[in-house]
Structure 1
Amino acid sequence: MKRIVAHNKKVEIIEDEMPSIEGKPSYILVKTLYSVISPGTELSMLAISENKQLHLGYSAMGEVVECGSNITDVKKGDLVACYGAPYVHHDEYLCVPKTLYAKVPDTVDPKEAALGGLGAIAIHALRIANLQFGETIVIVGLGVLGQLIAKIANAAAFNVIAYDLHESRVEMLEKEKIKSFSSVEAMEKAINIETNSQGADAVLLCAGGKRSPLTHECLKWIRKKGKAVIVGDIEPDFPRDLMFGKEAQLLISRAGGPGRYDSVYEREAIDYPYEYVRWTEGRNLEEYVRLIKEKRIDVQPFISEIVELTDAPHEFEKLLNKESTTLTKLIHFT
């Protein structure tokens, strides 16, 4: 089968052995239809691929072609959304544990379902913020992940204020009547108006940039005992005086939810008890599918560019060289 890898800071298509579910009763074999390029994560992997080969991708969807003996919720021919490396990559076939897929209803556009991994990450970030109905959330950085968080937060009736330097990204959310700004001054004015100068309940930092000035600035935007949630690739460098003065909470959102990087949950496909861990990464994936099934959020703007598998390396080059302003692209597997 064909798979996409990063090697010596370039993207290549290689031939590899097809995965098998033999001896894996709680796995399914999936023929990939679409996978999603996650620019932030995958371009970072490209940068560290000198003298090594790294598998790219973590969000995809496809058709079930074989089921292990313990699988009862899907059958051959069903469509599923899948999330999480090393089980989900830009590969023609995927061997996925039952804890990392969600069945896709017939009424859902398969291309929308392919965004499930990103959707789970966005949902988990909001859960980490632990907000209540009506609270004010500021989302900084409107790449595909920030956009998804803003849309889901808006659907949940939080008071959403969004910011990005790029006017085009701001305009994408303005079309949905979400308060969005490309000027810090305008955003700060909106925060003061919306909260009677008390400050936002939480700021979610979805931008990249390691030593970002946002880690200092965002503490000015939250209320006393407010929250700063790191979602993007930012070093947690916060000034003590502002943290202390507001008794602010610093939170980290890691991937798609409980279960991520746990070999028992993922590799052994043993789910956490529903009554003790309500929202695992798998259940967050299911929730994303529900949101698009019920049209609670519109993700069509993210699936406007489809590239064929053979053209994928060139598309990665365009993203790396900043020749593309697209937030993400879908890879189509025939």
Structure 2
Amino acid sequence: EQQISVYLNKMKMVPYAIGVRNAYSAISVGTEKTTVSKKQDSSLIKRLLNKENVKKGYAMVREKGLKHTLQIVKKTSTPILVPLGYSTAGRVIVVGKNVTNFTPGDMVACAGGGYATHAEIVEIPKNLACKIPKGVELKEATFATLGAIALQGIRRTNATLGETVVVTGLGILGQFTCQMLSAAGMRVIGIDLLDERLKIAKANGADLVLNPEKSDIEKEVAKFTADVGADAVIICAGTASTEPVHQGMRISRKKGRIIIVGAVGMELDRSLMYQKELDFFISTSYGPGRYDLKYEKDGIDYPIGYVRWTENRNMKAFLELIASKKIEIKDLIQHEFSIEEAPEAYATIREKTPLGIVFKYEADPSKFKTIKRKTVLVTEKAPKDHLKTAIIGAGSFAKGKHIPNLLKVPSFVNPPIIL
């Protein structure tokens, strides 16, 4: 770890960041399932839909011919690799020079797409990390980011003690939402298509659970609320359909609130909203500070007197709920994989609909495998009147322009490509 610390410092670690050795990272099933399920040709489709690319393609067809153009398009349509994961937990191993609230050895929960990724070592801006309180296991703390997302959705409802809140979609976010609402004294109704999820929500405090394929949702909600309707509906489902939103509108009371946490269809029926004068809210990720580079990257916090609940403070609040046993996490973690078993983990989320899944990383530094890399130079004699070339980095432009042009020059030997 000393070598890692030296390495991070040499790489000029961000002054307001910390280096963390992950113990666990959580798979966000909904988000990552969508990502890994995309077809490999998605980047090609996006390129073909771009007007400028269409113009360039048309010009190339006229100049080079259709066959040549198709070959170039195929060669240059390399899928873009995106790091997965945004919720981890581990131990601080190094801190940036401007970080005063963390020290090496602290156990922390981490957040952030592009930061808290599925990796052994991550660099985390200080506002995207928080210390893990006593009584919370690392595996539980791994879900702090997802818990903060659920908590922000609840905050958007402005629900008060005794109100009835419906949670649609009982994946991991919906389960967290139900538990926290119940802990806060709300009357909770959970809706999902999977009976297994309904049973878990009921066991963890939901007052009523309903399957739309087996129950008349509007009738049951009306009965539960004495014909008043739900005070708020939080939609945690992920679907292209707008039906969850419209259903939420139908079961809401007059002047009720609809909060969107999941990614759902948004072709809204104005008449449903207008007649009841419903309020419609979007909940942005973990809370205030999200997507603000000054907050996330530069470590500039919002004054608590003006912004009580930031994304960092939401994470802390969620961890405190775990520590005080107000919410249960362990029975929601259904699978654990080593990072070497990543293919099996993603096969699981493609084939099934599990709740919590974590990657576990090797805790003993002595057991880490050393990856040895070496460059091998292969020499080959070229004719005296020929030139040999090597290309380092073969991106779209190199593959589409430089290499084809070099191959046409008689004095050049076919160039090797080093990626």
Does the alignment reach a TM-score above 0.5? yes
Q: Retained in 2: the 8 A contact 1:215–1:237?
A: no
Pick closer, same or farther for the CA change 1:201–1:19 going to 2, 3 Å: farther
Equivalent position of 1:218 in the other structure: 248
Q: Does 1:259 align with 2:289?
A: yes
Q: Letter of the aligned partner of 1:60 in structure 2?
A: T
2:202 match? 174
Q: Which residue of 2 aligns with 1:119?
A: 147
| Structure 1 pair 19–242 and aligned structure 2 pair: CA distance change class (3 A) | farther
Structure 2 counterpart of 1:11: none
Q: Report deviation, 1:27.
A: 1.1
Establish whether residue 66 from structure 1 lines up as the match of residue 94 from structure 2.
yes
CA distance in 2: counterparts of 1:157 and 1:170, whole angstroms? 20
CA RMSD of aligned residues (A): 1.7
Task: Pick the aligned partner of 1:108 from 136, 141, 150.
Answer: 136
Q: 1:213 to 1:76 in 2, by over 3 A?
A: same
Q: CA deviation at 1:186?
A: 5.2
* One of 141, 156, 161 as aligned partner of 1:133: 161
For 2:191 and 2:37, the matched residues in 1 are separated by 27
CA shift in 2, pair 1:62/1:44, >3 Å:
same
Q: Does 1:158 align with 2:148?
A: no
2:333·2:355 contact (CA, 8 Å) conserved in 1?
no
Task: Show CA shifts across 1:69-125 (max 9, x none).
Answer: 332322111110011112111111111111111101242111000001100000000
Residue 113 of structure 2 aligns to which amino acid in structure 1? A
Q: Equivalents in 1 of 2:151, 2:39: separation in Å? A: 30
User: Identical aligned pairs, as a percentage?
Assistant: 37
The answer to whether the 8 A contact 2:17-2:125 is kept is yes
1:245-301 alpha-carbon deviations (Å, 9 max, x no partner): 001111111100011111100111111111111101011011111111111100111
* 1:26 corresponding residue in structure 2: 16
**Residue 308 of structure 2 corresponds to which residue in structure 1?**
278
- Ranges in structure 1 where 5+ consecutive residues have no aligned partner: 1-17
**Contact in 1 for aligned 2:16/2:297 (Cα 8 Å):** no
Q: Which moved more, 1:272-281 or 1:296-305?
A: 296-305
| Secondary structure at 2:238 match in 1 | coil
Is the helix fraction higher in 1 or 2? Answer: 2
SS in structure 2 at match of 1:254: coil
Per-residue CA deviation, residues 162-199 of structure 1 (Å, 9 max, x unaligned), is 11010000000121341212246354344223322111
Q: Which residue of 1 aligns with 2:237?
A: 207
| Rg comparison, structure with higher value | 2
Partner of 2:82, secondary structure, is strand
How far has the Cα of 1:33 moved from its partner?
Answer: 0.4
Larger strand share, 1 or 2: 1
CA contact (8 A) 1:27 1:97 kept: yes
Q: How does 1:229-240 map to 2 (within 5 A)?
A: 229-240=259-270
2:204·2:328 contact (CA, 8 Å) conserved in 1? no
Match of residue 331 from structure 1: 359
Query: Structure 1 residues 319, 296: closer, same or farther in 2, change over 3 A?
Result: same
What are the ranges of 5 or more consecutive residues in structure 2 without an aligned counterpart? 1-6, 41-78, 363-419
Q: Which amino acid aligns with 2:238?
A: G
Q: d(CA) in 2 for partners of 1:292 and 1:188? A: 33
Q: Is the Cα–Cα contact under 8 Å of residues 34 and 62 in structure 1 kept in the other structure?
A: yes
- Secondary structure at 2:359's aligned position in 1? strand
Question: Residue 43 of structure 1 corresponds to which residue in structure 2?
Answer: 33
Farther-moved stretch of structure 1 (225-234 vs 68-77) = 68-77
TM-score, scaled to structure 2: 0.72
